[in-house]
Amino acid sequence: MKAGLKKAGFTVEFRPTKGQIDAVKAVLAENVGLIRSIPQEYLTQVQGILMRSVSAGRDLQVMASEIKAQYGVTKRRAALIARDQNNKATAVIIKTRQQELGITQAEWRHSNGGRVPRPSHVKAGRERLVYNVAEGALIDGKRIWPGTEINCRCVARSIIPGIERHAHRGL
């Protein structure tokens, strides 16, 4: 996130709140435990790599290179782990930030990324599905948030009461 803000010309430093840090730690701990290509005894170290990378705003290539070098997984697998865990961390930071700011609704935005997009995510994005931030969007019979499914690159767009949705569609 830090790298993206800098590239866009922002000079404000990203400082996550304690709630955001705690939420990221929890989601990384849960999701890193699901990685099967790295031996179980190394998963705590992988979690540390991911947490440091997310906190420092490092890019995915650095994260993937470190995972590949230390744990002997393929370049492709390391890139998937880095991208997926970063997406999940970003999603939980956004959700937590929205809740901290009192934002209760968001709009699902499909990224148009990936070779095989989920039809339900494409549809949610096309229809600009509005969902409750605390509950998540009901997609494929379950409540989820953008960026939390494996390989999902979708994002949430906050809906701020009093500001019409069409007024900031191009932003």
Q: Given 74, 98, 122, which residue is the final one in a domain? A: 98
- Write the pLDDT tens digit of every residue in 73-95: 899 998 988 888 888 888 998 99
- From the list 87, 162, 165, 96, the residue with the least C-alpha distance to 128 is 165
- Write the pLDDT tens digit of every residue in 103-155: 999 999 998 877 889 999 999 999 999 999 999 999 999 999 999 998 899 99
57 phi/psi in degrees, rounded to 5: 70, 25
Q: In this predicted model, which residue has the larger pLDDT, 106 or 58?
A: 106
The encoded tokens of residue 164 equal: 């019409």
Q: Given 80, 98, 116, which residue is the final one in a domain? A: 98
Q: In this predicted model, which residue has the larger pLDDT, 170 or 111?
A: 111
Residue 77 sits in the same domain as residue 8? yes
Q: Is the pLDDT of residue 2 over 90?
A: no
Domain limits at 49? 2-98
Q: Given 98, 125, 158, which residue is the final one in a domain? A: 98
At position 46, the amino acid (one-letter code) is V
Residue 16 sits in the same domain as residue 59? yes
CA-CA-CA-CA dihedral for 64, 66, 67, 72, to nearest 10: 120
The encoded tokens of residue 112 equal: 């148009």
66 pLDDT band, cuts 50/70/90, is confident
Q: How many domains does the chain have?
A: 2
In angstroms, the CA 78 to CA 68 distance is 5
Q: What is the pLDDT of residue 58?
A: 65
Determine how many CB atoms are found less than 10 A away from the CB of residue 58. Answer: 17
Q: What is the pLDDT of residue 171?
A: 41
CB 66 within 8 A of CB 123: no
Residue 116 sits in the same domain as residue 94? no
DSSP for 104-155?
-EEEEE----SSS--HHHHHHHHTT-EEETTTBEEETTEEE-TT-STT---E
- Write the pLDDT tens digit of every residue in 42-57: 778 888 888 877 777 6
Give me the residue label for tokens 């890019």: 59
Residue 43 sits in the same domain as residue 110? no
Q: What is the pLDDT of residue 113?
A: 78
